[in-house]
Amino acid sequence: MSKTSICQSVLMLPNCLNLQYLSLAYCYRFTDEGFLYLVTEKGCHNLIHLNLSGCTQMTVNGFRYISAGCPSLKEIVVNDMPTLSDSCVLALTSRCHCLSAISLLDAPHLSDIALEAIAAVAKLRTFRTEGNNQLTDNSWKALCSSSQGLRRLHAAECSRMTDASLKSVASLKNLHHLDISLCNKVSDTGIQYLTEGSSSTKLRELNVSYCCHITDISVMMIAQRLCKLYHLNLSYCKSLTDMSLEWLSGSSVCSLDISGCNIQDQGLAALEGIRLKKLNVAQCVYITDIGMEKLCKNMRDLEHVDVSHCVALSDPAIRAISFYCRSLATLRMSGCAKMTDLAVQYLTSGSQYLQELDVSGCVLLTDRSLRHIERICPPLCSITMACCSSISKVAALKLQPRVKHWEHSNDDPPWFGYNIAEKSASNHKTYQDR
């Protein structure tokens, strides 16, 4: 019932008595009084999953009613509620002692008081929060001590999380998924705690995106000690160099995101002995066609590739991808302004299993590219051509019935005019210097 205009009377319907799963996300007319029904004899006492995301109209009283009426509640989602306070969490946990999964994304005002209250009563398997600058190391110590069986921890953009927090996280015995992206106080020391911790042989997904103090040393420890790691996100870790990719060679990683990193061709060439299926190098502005060819020779199992805004790449890069990566299913090359119709010809000749293609902002592509693309529909089922100013609307519309997802516009890319102006100014300055 999420995103509807229902009100509190819905819970009074006879068929709701045995309700177990309920989503009231973004139902702004549903108030505290609706949950008052839960504490009566006819309430929905069997609820085990409740989603209240975006219900900013709720107060402490609403959470108090939920706690009293739903003692068997196991999963609660309260995302996008910047009004959520410690008092709300205290009210919820006063009687809900069976909670195993909690999601509190975009709850910036919660403090250690809230997490310590959760830790006091719950044995969590999943916990998610994001965008909080109040939670300190004490919160993570309490949570990890009480919920040793935690499998998924999402703590993105928690600016007060430090290496000491990761020491607590390292004590978890069955952690499979960890997201500490945008936690910019975490350093190599914290990663060392993690890689030497109890879940080093269990961790499957790790996201340290935008952790600016993480260096190649961290990648070395991750590659050597996290032997079951499948997905690794290192995007926008600006301290990483080509050496980090050398360390990843021979690791268990199958999905790698290094978008926005200062990686060059040497790093791509060094990446070998690893069976990557998914690679994101978007906005790696230093890599060239040569680097992509060396990479693809070693990475023939690639199925999903993102080279968006790799501004130095041109047609030969796509030729290498299509020639060596025969199982390619997804290619995103938006913002690669040097690509021409020849790149699309290479792609459609070699990629027989391509399902998704994004060429947005490839301003040199013309209607000729669409004639090539038509030949691979199916299997191609998604095409995005935003800001393709040289592809006519008439030609683009002919392709629309052939795919499930279709997007096209003739607008200039948002960066297009800026780059022209910048280049013009640069040329003018050079002329003056002469």
Which residue has tokens 């490839």? 362
Which residue has tokens 């690639």? 302
- On whether the CB atoms of residues 213 and 187 are closer than 8 A, the answer is yes
- On whether the CB atoms of residues 140 and 162 are closer than 8 A, the answer is no
For residue 186, give Cα distances in angstroms to 62, 63, 167, 189.
37, 34, 11, 8
List the one residue out of 120, 208, 133, 113 whose CA is nearest residue 169: 208
Residue 426's pLDDT band (boundaries 50, 70, 90)? very low
- pLDDT of res. 245: 96
* Average model confidence (pLDDT) across the chain: 91
Burial of 428 (0-12, 13-18, 19+ CB in 10 A): exposed
Residue 63 lies in a domain: no
Residue 45 lies in a domain: no
Instruction: Give the rounded distance of the alpha carbon of 55 from its chain centre.
Output: 24
For residue 48, give Cα distances in angstroms to 72, 102, 114, 417.
6, 12, 21, 53
Residue 169 lies in a domain: no
* Distance of alpha carbon 428 from alpha carbon 434, whole angstroms: 10
* Distance of alpha carbon 309 from alpha carbon 337, whole angstroms: 8
* CATH number of the domain residue 428 falls in: 3.80.10.10
Tell me the per-residue pLDDT of 155-213, one tens digit each, with 9 for 90 and over. Answer: 999 999 999 999 999 999 999 999 999 999 999 999 999 999 999 999 999 999 999 99
Percent of the chain with pLDDT over 90: 82
pLDDT at 118 over 60: yes
Tell me the per-residue pLDDT of 2-33, one tens digit each, with 9 for 90 and over. Answer: 444 454 555 554 556 678 898 989 988 888 88
Q: Which residues pair with 155 in a beta bridge?
A: 129
What backbone phi and psi angles, to 5 degrees, belong to 20? -115, -35
- On whether the CB atoms of residues 35 and 62 are closer than 8 A, the answer is yes
Tell me the per-residue pLDDT of 78-111, one tens digit each, with 9 for 90 and over. Answer: 999 999 999 999 999 999 999 999 999 999 999 9
* Distance of alpha carbon 139 from alpha carbon 132, whole angstroms: 12
Residue 328 lies in a domain: yes
Which residue has tokens 């360390």? 247
* 3-state secondary structure (DSSP) of residue 98: coil
List the one residue out of 342, 280, 298 whose CA is nearest residue 317: 342
Q: Which residues pair with 156 in a beta bridge?
A: 130
Q: 296 lies in which domain range?
A: 291-434
Q: Give the single-character DSSP code of 160.
A: T
- On whether the CB atoms of residues 210 and 184 are closer than 8 A, the answer is yes
Residue 354 lies in a domain: yes
pLDDT at 428 over 50: no
- On whether the CB atoms of residues 64 and 39 are closer than 8 A, the answer is no
* Distance of alpha carbon 83 from alpha carbon 108, whole angstroms: 8
* Distance of alpha carbon 389 from alpha carbon 362, whole angstroms: 8
Number of folded domains that form the chain = 1
Which H or E element spans position 206?
strand 205-207
Residue 300 lies in a domain: yes
Q: Where would I find the beta strands (DSSP E) of 308-381?
A: 330-332, 356-358
Residue 371's pLDDT band (boundaries 50, 70, 90)? very high
Residue 396 lies in a domain: yes
Q: With left for phi above 0 and alpha for psi between -120 and 50, is residue 57 left, alpha or beta?
A: alpha
Residue 68 lies in a domain: no
